[in-house]
Structure 1
Amino acid sequence: MALITLVAGARPNFMKIAPIIHQLLASMDSLPNLKYRLVHTGQHYDQKMSGDFFEQLHIPSPHVNLGAGGGSQAEQTAAVMLAFEKELIANRPALVIVVGDVTSTLACTITAKKLLIDVAHVEGGIRSGDMTMPEEINRIVTDSITDHFFTTSKLANDNLISSGVPQEKIHLVGNTMIDTLIANQPRFSRPEGEVFDRLEKRKYFVLTMHRPANVDQQEKLKAMIDAIMMVTASMPVIFPVHPRTATNMRELGISYPSLHMVDPLGYLEFNYLVENAFAVITDSGGITEEASVMNVPCLTLRDNTERPETITLGTNELVGTNPDNLKPFLQKLMKGEWKSYQGIPLWDGNAARRIVDKVIELYI
């Protein structure tokens, strides 16, 4: 029997891992030796950040939840490693599949490799070049010891090759997050509530900010919100807010009639808002991918990106972290001069099938 262990820990992981699980389940019908085990590290334990995703994306319940949420990054890394080591000793797989670039990705990769278990990294090879981001450190360390890489773009392949990874370990498959988007797009649903009932298609913005550089420094947060509200032409701005950011907003007394701070939304509800928005303003990498494929203008509040294909072929532009940079981008948007989605190779909804086909070839 070949056991494949899949690791999910934070909200983006669930979107990336769901189609792989669905494809494994489909393949198990004809391959009785193929088994999988889903490990939820518990890195995100809020219901909206975790539980709802399993229900909405039709992911079977995890075989185990390691309960390693909370604490500093070092504490969380240690907690995941301690718990995952016990899991691997009790249920030793042929392969561990990790996704993305969160703390769980790094911690589980190190733990598996020290037990001499192969690791495959979904989204291997992406780089921002920004070592101030914990995610960049996670990517580099994970990729330095991984056995197989499932990549989203040729640029990711090039990054790996330039770091000395043999070509035969690199597999260009596409983007499993887009698999999830395409599969669930017909099920997107308007969130419940008076705020959402009043929204008109293409006449509101969706705003997300979560990176510490943008939300933890109160003066910078206020300057960014003020700049956004000055240039959004009184259109409603829907801002699903992390509790920590909400606290900072309240302490700063930030309030605008057209700014609607709402609780975090489920996957189907949030992407309904994105699909129908005039534009998205965000500091999230994953949202730039989804907005591009849905051909929704996207303004990224970062100085760099690990997903440059969303700029060259998608609808994304790097605004930067200086609030003064926003105005010319918004003026271009208001004039109807924004670029359209050009199509990114292999972002076609079939990445998980390519991944599972390669896993079967290598391990079954």
Structure 2
Amino acid sequence: MKVVSIVGARPQLVKLAAVAAAFAGTGHQHSIVHTGQHYDADLSDVFFSGLGIPDPDVHLGVGSGSHGAQTGSVLTALDPVLAAEKPDWVLVYGDTNSTLAGALSAVKQHLPVAHLEAGLRSFNRRMPEEHNRVLTDHCADLLLAPTAEAMRHLANEGLAHRARLAGDVMVDICLRIRDAVLAGRCPAPSLPEGIDPDGPFLLATLHRPDNTDDPERLSAIVTALAGLPVPVALLAHPRLVARAGQHGIDLAQGSIRVGRPLPYAGLVAAVLASSGVVTDSGGLQKEAFLLDRVCTTVRPETEWVETLEDGWNQLVADPHELAADAWAAVATRPAPRAPHGAPYGNGTAAVRVVELMEQALDGRT
């Protein structure tokens, strides 16, 4: 079986690490195309080195741009690559512009497409990622769903015949790195200056357009974080830094200590060291859940609805609209007493992904 994985952004690289490891133990041919959608070294290169992912076979280097320009650039660069490779499967990951472009390039050339992390829905049509998910699911041939809830979404859209429950491959990597951190096999995370890793602190990220592009909203969110009664380690995504600069917003104010994005092992270690997480990232919501840290999500909805059970994750669409003490109570709340279940699987999803692709290719499912 010949498989081409198409990736381009940090969350996809984490998933790729698990999938590449699963393919390494087989006789299948697995090659990697990196679109370059995340071109910052902190969001791309360190994941290849830090997670042991093989170097990409092809790097398209598309870089930044508007959604249309970026998607079009990936399509233009990817078409000849897939035409030359003619794989049995084109494997696309998640919900980025690279995901949609990879799926479109493949189906236009009559190449089978498998979508990893299929069936997630936020039902927020303002999110570009939501359109990428839905469009990719409806053109893919094999839908590899991470959860039972995702399977239900696919069935509701008439896609049950193409859907298979695979589990969440991010769990595979997160648990592996967690165990390495706890065993002392990973270095301490490089936290922003002024953060005591042995004291209480919150880990925060912000990058979604709804939170960063409106200067009044971004300013209000930053002010809300700055007013928290514990230090906030803000790992500043390049998008956040750029938008804050454009809007004239100082990120380093009040309780906020600004740092750079961390390699994946460093991120896991930072979450484990923290008292909790504040984010608008889908991946970090789930990582906090897997690592038994409470999460406050600065969005009105989440695609990872399982994290909301028992209060492990709490949605706050507008933290600046809460009274200061109410916002502080949410963001610094203790972890629930009851342990959570394992809705995302037990860490063996990547092996199942390979098996499901084998079976679908052989016509057994």
TM-score, scaled relative to structure 1: 0.91
- 1:44 and 2:34 matched: no
2:132 is matched with which residue?
138
2:326 is matched with which residue?
328
1:31 is matched with which residue?
none
Percentage of identical aligned residues: 32
1:195 is matched with which residue?
193
Q: Deviations over 1:313-357 (max 9, x none)?
A: 671111113522475353256563746541133421111011111
TM-score, scaled relative to structure 2: 0.91
* CA positional deviation for 1:297: 0.7
* CA positional deviation for 1:265: 1.6
Change (3 A) 1:131 1:332: closer
Deviates more, 1:143-152 or 1:332-341: 332-341
1:149 is matched with which residue?
143
Q: Deviations over 1:269-326 (max 9, x none)?
A: 1221111111100011111100001110100000011110111267111111352247
Change (3 A) 1:240 1:337: closer
2:241 is matched with which residue?
246
Secondary structure of 2:154's counterpart equals: helix
Q: What number of residue pairs does the alignment pair up? A: 354
Q: Is the 8 A contact 2:195 2:233 kept in 1?
A: no
Change (3 A) 1:254 1:21: closer
1:265 is matched with which residue?
262
2:12 is matched with which residue?
13
2:349 is matched with which residue?
351
Q: Distance in 1 between matches of 2:192 and 2:8?
A: 33
Deviates more, 1:332-341 or 1:293-302: 332-341
* CA positional deviation for 1:18: 1.0
2:172 is matched with which residue?
179
* CA positional deviation for 1:249: 4.0
Q: Distance in 2 between matches of 1:171 and 1:123?
A: 11
* CA positional deviation for 1:243: 3.3
Q: Deviations over 1:71-127 (max 9, x none)?
A: 211111111111111001111101111110000000010110011111011110110
Structure 2: gaps (5+ residues): none
Change (3 A) 1:330 1:118: same
- 1:295 and 2:292 matched: yes
Change (3 A) 1:3 1:190: same
Deviates more, 1:140-149 or 1:257-266: 257-266
Secondary structure of 2:193's counterpart equals: helix
Q: 2:201 aligns with which of 190, 199, 204?
A: 204
Structure 1: gaps (5+ residues): 29-33
Secondary structure of 1:93's counterpart equals: coil
Q: Deviations over 1:31-87 (max 9, x none)?
A: xxx211111111111111111100001000011001112221111111111111100
- 1:222 and 2:219 matched: yes
2:340 is matched with which residue?
342
Q: Distance in 1 between matches of 2:86 and 2:189?
A: 42
Q: Distance in 1 between matches of 2:297 and 2:157?
A: 28
Q: Distance in 1 between matches of 2:73 and 2:201?
A: 41
Change (3 A) 1:153 1:108: same
Secondary structure of 1:238's counterpart equals: strand
